[in-house]
Amino acid sequence: MGEDKELEELLNKKAMELIEKTRQLQRDPFPPGEVVHLDSSNFDDFISRKRVTVVDFWAEWCAPCFILAPIIEELARDYPQVGFGKLNTDENPEIASRYGVMSLPTVLLFKDGEPVDAIIGAVPREMIEARLKVILNE
């Protein structure tokens, strides 16, 4: 009988956490500190919502893309004022084409919804961070 009460309390706690997460997503579909998975339905809204955004253009077959992914995730946690997203170019070729992305990985840095810098290849965190700091300090 005690186990049922414990289970019920755990389920209620989990339900409340899910409700709160849903409320947060309704307020901000692009939570700070997280890398947002982008596609044609949310890309334009994402790059225009924050003053500075960073988008990682990648594909599942691209080994260097997987080297870069944890770096982007670290930067997202360290720069919550910046929007960080990733776009699968195989699933969204029209967006990659719009920005002339021909090599993967490509990281585009946007300011006020417009691309202002591009970094091609799996590069060290310091390189991306240095370019990001220049944009943030302008």
Residue 67 CA, chain-centre distance (Å), reads: 16
Tell me if 30 sits within 8 A of 81, measured CB to CB: no
pLDDT band at 130 (very low <50, low <70, confident <90, very high): very high
Catalytic site includes residue 84:
no
Which structure tokens are listed for 18? 């899910």
Taking 80 as the threshold, does the pLDDT of residue 64 lie above it? yes
Tell me if 68 sits within 8 A of 29, measured CB to CB: no
| Highest CATH level, class, for 31-136 | alpha beta
Catalytic site includes residue 62:
yes
Dist. CA 121–CA 119, nearest whole Å? 7
Locus of tokens 């091609």: 120
Kindly state the average pLDDT of the residues 3-16: 86
Pick the residue with more confidence: 22 or 75?
75
Taking 90 as the threshold, does the pLDDT of residue 19 lie above it? no
Pick the residue with more confidence: 35 or 4?
35
CA separation (Å) from 7 to 10, 11, 19, 20, 64?
A: 5, 6, 18, 20, 44
Which one is catalytic: 38, 52, 62, 119? 62
**DSSP state string for 3-50:** HHHHHHHHHHHHHHHHHHHHHHHHH-SS-TTSEEEE-TTTHHHHHHHS
Which one is catalytic: 36, 38, 55, 65? 65
Listed by start position, the domains of the chain span: 1-29, 31-136
Quick one: pLDDT at residue 126? 98
pTM of the model: 0.79
User: What is the chain's length?
Assistant: 138
